[in-house]
Amino acid sequence: MNNRELFLKHVAQTSPSPIGLEIVKAEGIYLYDASGKKYLDLISGISVCNTGHRHPKVVEAIKKQADEYLHVLVYGEFIQSPQVQYATLLTQHLPASLNSVYFTNSGAEAVEGAMKLAKRVTNRTQIIAFKNSYHGSTQGALSIIGDEYWRNAFRPLLPDVLHLDYNSFESLESITEKTACIIAETVQSEKGVYTSTLDWMKALGKKCSETGTLLILDEIQTGFGRTGTFWNFEQHEIVPDVLLLGKALGGGMPLGAFISDKKMMWSLTENPVLGHITTFGGHPMSCAAGLASIKVVIEETLIKQVSEKEKLFHSLLVHSKIKSVRSAGLLIAIEFDSFETNKKSIDACLNNGLLTDWFLFAPNCMRIAPPLIITEDEIKMACEIILKALQE
């Protein structure tokens, strides 16, 4: 059997028709398949590879850490330099109240930990999330994602979860002294890149303060400069009680985190002891890779370039089949009239050496989330391929 046959036979599938490319190499913004064909990666492994694939400094950090040690003990017991250095760097680029980092294996696990933290701190049970928001696929995270199609097959899920309308001032009245936490995205990525309004996000923060509700912001897709600022919440003039991170956090390696104030985070250390525990969370290899990657974002001033690159995409993506182009920095949705039009365009792009995708809650929209290192010439080339696909 060849690798494709073995893939379909022995690797658990998540859809009846996986893309099925056999990738043998990745470098910068490009992927290479077993036949030698080159693909411009316009989705960064779903907003993961902000500094591109195998950035030399990230690879160097991984190799260096591999020469020192890999897993040594469950998270939180030993002082491991990659964790300490990375947590320190993160908190240096966050508001003072976000000073304690709990590393996990993934974004979904960060969501799970944050929900437990909110219940522990507030001694309340109600969790509020928003329709058309995505927070992960584990049982707890699935309970709060904002689409019944994805939840229904796995009920019963967590009780006492309420889903509100996003950007609705009226919906904020449902937040009460019984609410443990609100979990919200500042940009609803999987809806097809819809951004909260400044006034609404401020009102949400005010309501949380009035009711003693923890505000948890999910920046798993938007963090580390993707939207033009280090954190998207900076654009909304608000500071969350808990911040959720993942995707680009690991520089291409698996890593997530929830970040809060030390006083709150330490509530997980007693009654019961080990209130939240993970074996591989904050793996030293992942932390070393993530630390190196974020240093590249900072040192190469990639964030300052996001706005101009965003404008260039807008100026080039003009076609009669494109209904709209929505963006939050280099997180972009191209809206078509239907999923069928979008799927044909995605397939045509793939045939022409460009990897794109669609959004879970907006299947009629094409996803664009390239590595932040993408150049203007590469943006022009990508847009040419997309427009050619629409003609085909």
pLDDT tens digits, residue range 19-64?
Answer: 888 999 999 999 999 999 999 999 999 999 999 999 999 999 999 9
Other C-beta atoms within 10 Å of 238: how many? 19
Domain 3-54+301-391: CATH architecture, name and number where available: Alpha-Beta Complex (3.90)
DSSP state of 369: -
Q: In this structure, are residues 215 and 242 in contact, taking their beta carbons and an 8 Å threshold?
A: yes
Q: What pLDDT sits at residue 349?
A: 97
Mean pLDDT of 357-369: 97
Domain 57-299: CATH architecture, name and number where available: 3-Layer(aba) Sandwich (3.40)
Q: What pLDDT sits at residue 178?
A: 98
**Predicted confidence (pLDDT) at residue 192 exceeds the cutoff of 90:** yes
Q: What pLDDT sits at residue 219?
A: 98
In the sheet where 357-359 sits, what is the strand order? 324-327, 332-335, 362-368, 357-359
By mean pLDDT, which of 63-72, 79-88, 145-154, 220-229 is the weakest? Answer: 145-154
Nearest alpha carbon to residue 187 among 130, 242, 120:
130
Domain boundaries, given as residue ranges, for the chain? 3-54+301-391, 57-299
Whole-model pTM: value is: 0.96
pLDDT-derived band at 301, boundaries 50, 70, 90? very high
By mean pLDDT, which of 10-14, 24-28, 43-47, 198-202 is the weakest? Answer: 10-14
**Predicted confidence (pLDDT) at residue 7 exceeds the cutoff of 90:** no
Which long-range contacts link 318-326 to residues 24+ away (Cβ below 8 Å)?
Answer: 319/387, 319/390, 321/345, 321/390, 322/390, 326/192, 326/193, 326/194, 326/365
Mean pLDDT of 286-291: 98
Contacts of 225 (CB under 8 A, 6+ apart): 50, 297, 302, 303, 306, 329, 372
Q: In this structure, are residues 1 and 346 in contact, taking their beta carbons and an 8 Å threshold?
A: no
Mean pLDDT of 85-105: 98
In residues, how long is the chain?
392
**Predicted confidence (pLDDT) at residue 279 exceeds the cutoff of 90:** yes
**What CA dihedral angle connects 48, 51, 55 and 60, to 10 degrees?**
-80
Nearest alpha carbon to residue 127 among 176, 57, 173:
176
What are the DSSP calls for 53-108, one per residue? BT-HHHHHHHHHHHHH-S--SSTTSS--HHHHHHHHHHHHTS-TT--EEEEESSHH
Return the SS3 of 326.
strand
Q: What pLDDT sits at residue 165?
A: 98
